[in-house]
A = this chain, B = another copy of it.
Amino acid sequence: MAVASSLRLPSLANLLSRSRPSTVLRRSTAGIRPRRSERGVYALSTAASTAETEDPRALLRKGSKGDDRSITPRSQDFSGWYLDVIEHAELADYGPVRGTMVIRPYGYAIWEAIQEYLNVKFKETGHSNMYFPQFIPYSFIEKEASHVEGFSPELALVTIGGGKELEEKLVVRPTSETIVNHMFTQWIHSHRDLPLMVNQWANVTRWEMRTKPFIRTLEFLWQEGHTAHATPEEAEQEALQMIDIYTKFAYEQAAIPVIPGRKSKVETFAGASRTYTIEAMMGDRKALQAGTSHNLGQNFSCAFGTQFTDENGQRQHVWQTSWAISTRFVGGIIMTHGDDSGLMLPPRLAPIQVVIVPIWKKDDEKSRVLSAALSVRDSLQSAGVKVKLDDSEQRTPGWKFNFWELKGVPLRIEIGPRDVSNGSVVVSRRDVPGKEGKVFGISMEPAILEAYVKDKLDEIQSSLLEKAKIFRDSNIVDVSSYDELKSAISEGKWARGSWCASDQDELRVKEETGATIRCFPFEQPKERRPCLMTGNPASEVALFAKSY
């Protein structure tokens, strides 16, 4: 790890060696709360952030072109690399309260791109945005038995308001099913009020003991959808529709080849009848639960008396769903695509898709080069490309190359005096290092350059997905016995095998291997094989992996 990083996070090494208490019996929760593995989970600094520089420039200043080892190599220490990328690419910083995170503009812009896409999809599928208060009476949390069991260990409680001790403690929302049902009960009367389909973009709080920027923080941002339906079929259809939207988002926008499927009973959300998930393989081959969609059945509607009068005049409890994706997804993007040089952003979510670096030595070159760079910028911008011209004079072109590579910008355009004379530019791909990714002599002619850039961005988008797919598939092993499963997991891979064993067996796998059932994938092999654990006939394969 580079010197600056060690200074910045003095306590990491110690924390790494701690083991965490077993929580296997606790049910997993929405989107952002998958099972944690024993290793690789960092605690954020417990004190206020240290005072030394945050600025990646301060660090990179030391480097010259080619010296991009200012961040820990990914292959050497994945977690160290992850934290370095977050710091030096200016994605996030540590908040003053243990486990909290400040999302910096560049990191937030990735979240905004995620929001922009999903928000449209939610509205297209008939959901309206709204806002529920974040303070929930403590008594609400207790109404649904498994919900309180799942969440009570990690609640933040407000006990003082306006200088006075409160009569009832208030929960700072960890998720909103309870308050949503309290309100739904008042809004839903007749079958004509159904379906009721809403979503909110909000912050939520979970008192996590081991935290890691983006992946698991005390407070995080997410969207949570909540719907109520007249029939169980409609609720099931909705839960499936939303996991499908998340899946498409992951593939098409984030270039992450997630595996959608159903959670095991043990891993189902606290309060749900069925949980669907998208599971992503990170660069260290650990699984990340990247989004979830729950069929809540009538669990909350029974607890809160959310009823409607059906077409025959009968009172019925509504059938519900909830579904969420959070800022954790930004962590997933970093850990899927990044490399030793830093971040690598999929073009469709990149805040900056193209960076232009002008190159000159003499003053008379400068004005020619800059004016060409400006007109290239303007033409790309008006073609809808997110472009930045880095014309600062304090940095060398080499420094800029490293910096924007670290920031994961998909394409770089270089313009020097000779290029201007030739009416052409040099284009470099972030995802293809060195000379291989560099193409000389692309015409500056707006129509030609725009088409070329858009084409390249599409190519990079596909290429990132393809690379991630190959990586994923080469790290999933089909197993037919527990021994094979253990050996796959010990090699750091995912194991896929037929499973119809008990919850106890599932927990035993976790205790003995550190791996959990990530999901029963929707895509199942045609051939049926006996359960890897019991040898009994099994109807499904499950995916096992260690996870974040």
Contact = CB atoms under 8 A, between A and B. Distances in A.
A66 interface: no
B163 A153 contact: yes
Contacts of A209: 162
A40 interface: no
A183 B128 contact: no
A186 B54 contact: yes
A145 to B, nearest CB: 18
B135 A93 contact: no
B96 A140 contact: yes
B102 A137 contact: no
Given A100-B135, A112-B129, A189-B55, A161 B394 contact: no
A108 interface: yes
A137 B97 CA distance: 7
Given A108-B128, A108-B129, A219-B134, A154 B159 contact: no
Nearest to A193: B55
Contacts of A159: 157-160
A134 B51 CA distance: 21
Contact of A54 (B58, B161, B187): B187
Interface string A160-172: 1111000001101
Given A96-B179, A160-B169, A135 B219 contact: yes
B219 A102 contact: no
Nearest to A217: B133
Contact of A129 (B109, B170, B189): B109
A130 interface: yes
A448 interface: no
This chain: how many copies in the complex? 2
A120 interface: no
B189 A172 contact: no
A128 B105 contact: yes
Given A128-B105, A130-B103, A182-B96, A153 B157 contact: no
Given A51-B186, A93-B186, A157-B159, A104 B132 contact: no
A108 B202 CA distance: 13
Nearest to A105: B128
A69 interface: no
B133 A102 contact: yes
Contacts of A187: 54-55, 93
B130 A182 contact: no
Interface in A433-459: none
A302 interface: no
A48 interface: yes
Interface in A319-362: none
Contacts of A95: 132-133, 135, 179, 183
A139 to B, nearest CB: 9
Interface in A16-73: 48-49, 51, 53-55, 58
A91 to B, nearest CB: 10
Given A162-B154, A179-B95, A186-B93, A131 B221 contact: yes
A207 interface: yes
Nearest to A135: B97
A129 B154 contact: no
A218 interface: yes
B182 A48 contact: yes
Interface in A276-294: none
Interface in A171-213: 172, 179, 182-183, 185-187, 189, 192-193, 198, 202-203, 205, 207-209
Contacts of A183: 49, 93, 95, 102
Contacts of A130: 102-105, 107-108
Contacts of A185: 51
A477 interface: no
Given A170-B97, A394-B192, A131 B108 contact: yes
A397 to B, nearest CB: 19
A96 B185 CA distance: 12
Interface of A: 48-49, 51, 53-55, 58, 93, 95-97, 100-105, 107-109, 111-112, 128-137, 140, 152-163, 169-170, 172, 179, 182-183, 185-187, 189, 192-193, 198, 202-203, 205, 207-209, 218-219, 221, 394
20 contacts: A48-B182, A49-B183, A58-B189, A95-B179, A96-B133, A96-B179, A102-B130, A105-B128, A107-B130, A108-B130, A109-B129, A134-B203, A156-B160, A156-B162, A158-B159, A162-B207, A162-B209, A163-B207, A172-B172, A202-B203
Given A104-B130, A154-B162, 14 more contacts: A96-B133, A96-B179, A97-B137, A100-B133, A102-B183, A111-B131, A131-B221, A135-B205, A155-B160, A156-B158, A161-B218, A162-B207, A172-B172, A192-B394
The 3 closest A-B pairs by CB, nearest first: A105-B128, A162-B207, A100-B133
